[in-house]
Amino acid sequence: MPLSIATWNVNSILARLPTALAVLKHVDADIVCLQEIKCEDARFPRLEIESMGYNVATHGQKTYNGVAILSKHRIEEEAPGLPEGEGDDHARYLECVIAAPGGPVRVASVYAPNGNPVGTEKFSYKLAWHDRLIAHAERLLALEEFCVIAGDYNIIPRDVDADDPASWRGDALFQPESIGKYRALANLGYVECFMQADGRPRQFTFWDYQAGAWRRDHGIRIDHLFASPQAADRLTGVSIHRDARAMDKPSDHVPIIGAFDW
DNA sequence: ATGGTCGCGTAGCGA
């Protein structure tokens, strides 16, 4: 059976609610990973999302960060936060096991730190956070499950994943150390779905609100779906819902959807 | 041109 898994940095679910509901309806994914919901669990618009046929798991935070997973199938387990998180109060990781018709699937919604400016504790936090993600992803790989770790990685993997790579050269999203974290996940055995299904240049998922970035197509590809071998073997395609950036009150990110046969 | 624009929350930070 087809199983679609989307990821979308919504940039505040409350500020975005009418837009988000329209986008979610159009994307119509079985599972949706959301980032930057920017609200505590109790304030998440659960009823509105549930009325679309989704079960909801949240790992919320006031003002900043916050991730969620929406699923048309039953959510069997919820695990907020990465291991080794003592002293880290950012809500950036939520993992669920979902009872898909083809069998259980493990899905994680990740919101990696931005890390700017380079050379500060923000950048070292970004790298250390990725190291914790990579260590956890390695443990998940040993389970030999259908597993997808999807979200806003805040990493531009290649020059061709930016409209103007030179303008990102000094940015935390485009540092060799950051790209090394993306490659480390792939080197573990995870497959980045976009690269497996398409890989073509200039397919962007983020356009800044500033300086007419959308109008000029000054975009970058920073939202990724990493699939375990058991999931990657079932990948049938990837699509980017570019139209979402042209809506009223858009997020600065658009959804990217992996299609699987499971 | 080192700007611009959002969201949160109501000043200034984060992105």
Domains of chain A, residue spans: 2-261
| A214-229: pLDDT as tens digits | 999 999 999 999 999 9
Using alpha carbons, list the distances in angstroms from residue A49 to A5, A18, A148.
Answer: 16, 11, 22
pLDDT band at A242 (very low <50, low <70, confident <90, very high): very high
The reported pLDDT for the residue numbered A196 is: 98
pTM > 0.95: yes
Chain A residues 97 to 126 whose Cβ lies within 7 Å of strand B are 113-114, 116, 122
pLDDT band at A188 (very low <50, low <70, confident <90, very high): very high
Contact A19, A250 (CB under 8 A): yes
Shortest CA distance to A188 belongs to which of A142, A224, A151? Answer: A142
Alpha-helical runs (H) found in A189-238: 193-197, 229-232
Query: The domain at A2-261 falls in which architecture?
Result: 4-Layer Sandwich (3.60)
Residue A144: CB atoms within 10 A of its CB come to 10
Q: How far is the CA of A101 from the C1' of B6 (A)?
A: 40
| A155-172: pLDDT as tens digits | 999 999 999 999 999 999
Mean pLDDT of A82-105: 97
Mean pLDDT of A190-210: 98
Asked if strand B contacts A11 at the CB level, meaning under 7 A, the answer is yes
Closest residue by Cα to the C1' atom of nucleotide B8?
A63
pLDDT band at A75 (very low <50, low <70, confident <90, very high): very high
Peptide bond just before A83 cis, omega within 30 deg: no
Contact A90, A113 (CB under 8 A): yes
Contact A34, A58 (CB under 8 A): no
Shortest CA distance to A33 belongs to which of A105, A115, A96, A118? Answer: A96
